[in-house]
Amino acid sequence: MRAAFPDFRLGNVLATSFTGTLSERHGDAVERIPVPHRLVDWLAVNGLAVDSCTAAQLDRARELREAIHAAATAAATQDALPVSAVQVINDCSAQGRAAAILTPDGERRWRLGSASCVEDALGVIAADAISIIAGERDGKLALCASPTCRAAFFDTSQSRTRKWCDMNTCGNRQKKARFNANQRKKPGSVE
């Protein structure tokens, strides 16, 4: 029987989708890449297919993930970037040997140095994090308004007023809580 693992939350920004593999950091944290093969699955879904992943590579991936989370959180709150996090991101970026490839259909694909090279995939994720933290892309880093989440996300909405890392999870939960509170407040309500 196959063990069930938590689903992935998919966003359209690679670096913050990756930090989203650990969610509810300030509540009951959910680890969405608990074993090496779930990292392999996540990378495949995100266009960075690798053949295999070792326990050490998973550790390195999680180290990069937490470094991106720390640096993106600091950037969102306009604090100084943590030196150790910057170091991890830069090391991962420098170690990657992925190449951007233009397909005949005009799409970008990543070609990794070798099929088992998780490091190459991490290099792509680190470079993506650098581009958003450095403010090179159209959008703004912000923190999710949910107190149990506080995930850093990249707001590309026109007004830059997005409050939730994910409308389907944190946003929805908040909407439901507000709805229930309003129901309770209604005069004459028996409940």
What sign for the dihedral angle of Cα 164, 58, 119, 101? negative
Q: CA 75, 120, 139 angle in degrees (round to 5)? A: 30
Minimum distance from residue 106 beta carbon to Zn ion (Å): 33
Is residue 13 close enough to count as binding Zn ion by CB under 5 A? no
* Nearer of residues 98 and 165 to Zn ion, judged by Cβ: 165
* Nearer of residues 33 and 149 to Zn ion, judged by Cβ: 149
Backbone dihedral region of 160: left (phi > 0), alpha (psi from -120 to 50 degrees) or beta? left
Is residue 76 close enough to count as binding Zn ion by CB under 5 A? no
Is residue 165 close enough to count as binding Zn ion by CB under 5 A? yes
Cβ atoms 166, 11 nearer than 8 A: yes
Number of residues that bind Zn ion (CB under 5 A): 6
Which residues in 131-160 contact Zn ion (CB under 5 A)?
A: 144, 146, 149, 151
Is residue 170 close enough to count as binding Zn ion by CB under 5 A? yes
3-state secondary structure 119-176: HHHHHHHHHHHHHHHCCCCCCEEEECCCCCCCCEEEECCCCCCCCCCCHHHHHHHHHH
* Nearer of residues 35 and 140 to Zn ion, judged by Cβ: 140
* Nearer of residues 16 and 146 to Zn ion, judged by Cβ: 146
Minimum distance from residue 78 beta carbon to Zn ion (Å): 20
Minimum distance from residue 165 beta carbon to Zn ion (Å): 3
Calpha distance 154→140 (Å, rounded): 6
Query: Which residues form the interface with Zn ion (CB under 5 A)?
Result: 144, 146, 149, 151, 165, 170
